[in-house]
Structures are given as C-alpha cells and as structure tokens.
Amino acid sequence: GRPQVGGMGRSRVHATQREQEGDMDWVASVGNVSASLAFCLAAHVNAGFLGGSDSAVFCLVPLLLLLSRDNGLMSGLSDARRYFPLVAVGVGYLVCASLYRLVLRDALERNHLLTRAGGSYRPETASALAAAKNLACLAVTLPGHGMFASFLWTFKHTRDIYWVLLLPLNFVPVMLSDLHSVRLLGALGVAAGAMQLLLSNRIRRFGLQFV
C-alpha cells in the first residue's frame, strides 16, 4: 500500500511548498519591476529623443503583457485581467500627455523652468477659449475609458444606455480637438463603446438561443 505521511512529514511538505511559492513570488516581482522599467525607459526615449509621438504608446504598452501576479501591487492581476494594465496605462499616458500640453507646459515656460522652441505655434493653447475647448474634449473621453477599464477588471457589463449616450460624445474630440493625443482618446473611446455594444448584442443573441 501507499506509505502514510505523518504529521512531521506533512509539515515539511507544506514548508517546502511555501518556500517554492516564495521563490516564485520573488521572481514574479523582479519580472514586474523589469517590465515596468522597460516601459518607462522606452517612453522616456520616445519623449526625449524620438519626437514624442503619441501614437508610439500603442507600440510600448504591449511590454506590460509581461506583468504577472505577485504579492505586491500586482496581487490582483490574473490571466483574465492581463489586458487591464495595457488599457489603463495607455489611456493614462495619453491623458497625462494632453494635460502637460494644455496646462503644465505653458506654466513651466512662464516660470522659466522650460525653454520654448522659437517660433512654434500651438493652436491648442493659442487662446483661453482654445484651451478650454481642448480640455472639454479631453473630459468628454474620460467616462467611457473609465467604464471600459472597469469592465476589463471586473467583467461586469455596463448598461447599454450609457454607451449609447457616450459613444456619440467621443466623436466630438475626434472632430474638434487640436491635440493628437485627445483625438486618439476620442477614437479609442469610440472603439471601446462599439466593442461593448457588440459584445452586449452577442450575449443577448446567445441567450435567446436557450429561450
């Protein structure tokens, strides 16, 4: 018959398993730090040496697929939620880039903390009205991105009426904003809303097959 493992043997097995899990957590934490540093370094190189194209974020965020679950900040990450960091960081990057150009850059230049490029014309902040228009376009995109990020984390479907209302609003920054980053956020909001409505329609049709 199979040998019986006594209490002392079981405790040793459990201790060994805990040690192995601790080693894996350490490896996961190092991997997460490395992936985060790689993303930050690539973003810095893009901003400082390659012209700072906003579209480059779509090439950078796939680095975050290397993130894995650990006992730290990524303790809630799972295979089902692995696309949440891509969306959250990508949207956050574009929002921060927009706020920098609309608010922070001019303030830094007025206080002589940043040198303005000679002869550069900035339609997004040419007047207070232009700045307010672009800030309003930025604000319009945020609710949709917040709901989509929440869906990627919780997988709780939002009522269709919210997306029906928000989807047309996301066309406003696409058509009216002077900032490329805000137009990208609007386009992403349209894509997120269309994806949610399509998913809702497929779920509804799938459910009707069993009625």
Chain Cα centroid distance, residue 199: 20
In this structure, are residues 201 and 207 in contact, taking their beta carbons and an 8 Å threshold?
A: no
How sure is the predictor about 109, in pLDDT bands with cuts at 50, 70 and 90? confident
- What pLDDT score was predicted for residue 12? 58
The two most distant CA atoms of the chain are separated, in Å, by 88
Nearest residue to 71 (alpha-carbon basis) of 133, 23, 130: 23
pLDDT at 7 over 90: no
Distance CA 41, CA 36 (A): 9
How sure is the predictor about 183, in pLDDT bands with cuts at 50, 70 and 90? very high
- Kindly state the average pLDDT of the residues 21-34: 78
pLDDT at 72 over 90: no
Nearest residue to 92 (alpha-carbon basis) of 40, 151, 163, 48: 40
Nearest residue to 82 (alpha-carbon basis) of 53, 100, 52, 62: 62
In this structure, are residues 173 and 183 in contact, taking their beta carbons and an 8 Å threshold?
A: yes
Between residues 153 and 16, the one the model is more confident about: 153
Between residues 169 and 202, the one the model is more confident about: 169
- What pLDDT score was predicted for residue 172? 95
How sure is the predictor about 107, in pLDDT bands with cuts at 50, 70 and 90? confident
